[in-house]
Amino acid sequence: MENKALSYDGTTIRLIETEEALQDVAAKLSGSRELALDLEFDQNRFTYGFNLCLIQISDGNGTCYIIDPFAFEDLSPIFEIVENPSITKIIHHSNNDILLLNKLGCNIRNVMDTDVAAKILNYERSSLATVLKEEFDKEIDKSQQSSNWNKRPLTEAQLVYAAIDVIYLHQVKERLVKKIEELDRLHWLEEENNLLERIEYSEANNPHLKLKNAFKLNYYQQFLLKDLYSFRDEMGQKLNKPAPYVIPNDALVDLANNPNVDLHEWLNHTKGIHGALKRQPNEKLLSKALKQAKEKAKEENISHDYPDFRGQRPVRTAETEQRKDELSQVQKRIVEKYGENASRLVITQSLIGEYSQTGNIRCHKKYGYSIIMETASELGINLPGEII
């Protein structure tokens, strides 16, 4: 499809699938001042893991390049552009894109997130479709939003959808930045964008304990759940299926809660178990994993007691309630001054909760800290004078 002409709203869409084309695009884009960027990815929806499926780049001059990463072993020519601090990368809601790029070894620089810009302007909903409708009265087709981006060949509808995510971003950025400048909030935007560049991908600690009802298990059952979770993950990788498609989360917790069930019966009467796991070789693997987890738990003398969560409850005293009330007053005034949605960038309930418990203002945004302190001063409330 690379040589087939495709366009949308005056923009030429080029699908890049050959090494020669990739090198040509990289050479053309390397001298740009700003580019619009987006990724399509699959995050445990259709396949195992967090996988890059497409890279869309618009030069703002009538061409959108859609790079198919499945066609290349080395994407460094594009990654070098993404990492180039002299080129602004306009992205809408960049968090997951940045995480995936970081996972792939690409550390983006000079981010301009138009979703953040919309939030600074107090947008209640800041999706690209909403911003385009509000600012340009333009409706866009989102019918391919849940598309399977792993499938090849890509359809024309998919390519157009992917292109739409970037071809308007130059206009959106220009319009929103102008409004932010009028509100004297450019320093908000600059700091928020700088913070986005610090996002790093990491695997979650003890992800098995984040499953629903895992906290209700005793220590022994949680110990088994950890090994069962690892087994399921390995099977998901082997089958290239999202792990919950192999064994649903609730079923995995149920097995840890009742580890002495007849495993063959459990596999064949539990809803949502992947068919491949019911095959005798894989059933034996699951049985072995569960047996080894039990033996290891016995060797390590894992307790059958239940965790005590009482110590995690917030302490409530006259002092903590006073601090909570003080910062809640500050939050209310900030909402009045900047709007409810913009204020969420400045002060959150978790910040209020931590101040209530510790007496410390833990704010990693300089502009946010300044606003909090200035607002407190206006209200005659004395807050700690040092940022943490």
Q: What is the pLDDT along the chain (388 residues), one digit of tens a residue?
A: 444 569 999 999 999 999 999 999 999 999 999 999 999 999 999 999 999 999 999 999 999 999 999 999 999 999 999 999 999 999 999 999 999 999 999 999 999 999 999 999 999 999 999 999 999 999 988 777 788 999 999 999 999 999 999 999 999 999 999 999 999 999 999 999 999 999 999 999 999 999 999 999 999 999 999 999 999 999 999 999 999 999 999 999 999 999 999 999 999 999 999 999 999 999 999 999 999 999 999 999 999 999 986 556 788 999 999 999 999 999 999 999 999 999 999 999 999 999 999 999 989 899 999 999 999 999 999 988 655 5
- Ramachandran sector of residue 123 (left: φ over 0; alpha: ψ -120 to 50; beta: rest): beta
Query: Is residue 84 domain-resident?
Result: yes
| Token pair of 221 as six digits | 């059952």
Q: Give the pLDDT confidence score for residue 314 in this predicted structure.
A: 82
The C-alpha atoms of residue 211 and residue 233 are separated, in whole angstroms, by 14
- Which residues span the domain enclosing 259? 207-299
Residue-level pLDDT at 146: 80
Do the domain assignments include residue 227? yes
Residue 1 domain flag: no
Do 164 and 290 reside in the same domain of the chain? no
Q: pTM to 2 decimals?
A: 0.93
CATH of the domain at 51: 3.30.420.10
Q: What is the pLDDT of residue 313?
A: 76
Q: Are residues 137 and 268 in the same domain?
A: no
pLDDT given at position 35: 98
169 and 53, same structural domain?
yes
Q: With contact defined as beta carbons under 8 Å apart, do 301 and 84 qualify?
A: no
Q: Looking at the structure, do residues 232 and 339 belong to the same domain, yes or no?
A: no
Alpha-carbon distance of 288 to 292, in angstroms, equals 6
Q: Are 80 and 67 in contact (CB under 8 A)?
A: no
DSSP labels, 71-115: G-S--HHHHHHHH-TTSEEEESS-HHHHHHHHHTT----SEEEHH
What's the mean per-residue pLDDT of the chain? 95
pLDDT at residue number 198: 95
H helix or E strand, kind and range, residue 265: helix 263-269
Asked if residue 122 lies in contact with residue 341, where contact means CB atoms within 8 angstroms, the answer is yes
- What CATH number does residue 286 fall under? 1.10.150.80
E strand spans, the chain: 7-8, 11-16, 34-43, 50-58, 63-67, 88-91, 111-113
Query: Which tokens sit at 129?
Result: 């479709």
What is the total count of domains within the chain?
3
> Which of 299, 332, 353 delimits the end of a domain?
299
Q: Do both 257 and 371 map to the same domain?
A: no
Residue 13: beta bridge partners?
A: 64
Query: Is 308 inside a domain boundary?
Result: no
Do 270 and 368 fall into the same domain? no
Q: Report the distance separating Cα 227 and Cα 302, nearest Å.
A: 14
Q: CA distances (Å), 152 to each of 147, 194, 206, 245, in order?
A: 12, 36, 35, 22
